[in-house]
C-alpha cells in the first residue's frame, strides 16, 4: 500500500514541475507584459494582427492597425510586444 501512495505522490510532483509550474511562470510573464503596455508600443495580437497601441484603459487597449482604423481589444489578446516605445 505504501509504495502505491508514494508512486502517486511522485507522479504529482513530476506533473507539477513539468506542466503546472512552467505554465504559471509563463502566465505571470504575460501578465507583466500586458501591465506594462504603453501608448506607442507596437504589438502582435493572438489573432496575428500587428498594430500600435494608441490608448490603454483598465482591461482594454485601443490598437491602431491602419491610418484611420482603430480597434479595441482586451489586454489578454496581446501575444507579444514587437517594439517598446522609448521615451
* CATH number of 14's domain: 2.30.30
Contact by Cβ (8 Å): 64, 45: no
Confidence at 1, pLDDT banded by 50, 70, 90? confident
**pLDDT at position 79, please?**
94
Q: Rounded mean pLDDT of 12-18?
A: 93
pTM: 0.75
Number of domains in the chain: 1
Q: Which phi and psi (to 5°) does residue 30 adopt?
A: -65, -40
Dihedral of the alpha carbons of 24, 26, 46, 38, in degrees to the nearest 10: 110
Whether 79 and 45 have beta carbons less than 8 Å apart is answered as yes
Q: Quote the CA–CA distance of 87 and 19 in Å, as a whole number.
A: 38
Domain containing residue 51: 2-83
pLDDT bin (cut points 50, 70, 90) of residue 26 is: very high
pLDDT, tens only, 43-87: 999 999 999 999 999 899 999 999 999 999 999 999 999 988 776
Amino acid at each position: 500500500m505504501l509504495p502505491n501512495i508514494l508512486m502517486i505522490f511522485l507522479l504529482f510532483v513530476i506533473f507539477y514541475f513539468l506542466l503546472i509550474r512552467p505554465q504559471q511562470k509563463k502566465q505571470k510573464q504575460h501578465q507583466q507584459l500586458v501591465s506594462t503596455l504603453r501608448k506607442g508600443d507596437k504589438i502582435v495580437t493572438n489573432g496575428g494582427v500587428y498594430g500600435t497601441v494608441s490608448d490603454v484603459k483598465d482591461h482594454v487597449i485601443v490598437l491602431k492597425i491602419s491610418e484611420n482604423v482603430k480597434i479595441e481589444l482586451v489586454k489578454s489578446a496581446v501575444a507579444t510586444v514587437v517594439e517598446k516605445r522609448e521615451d
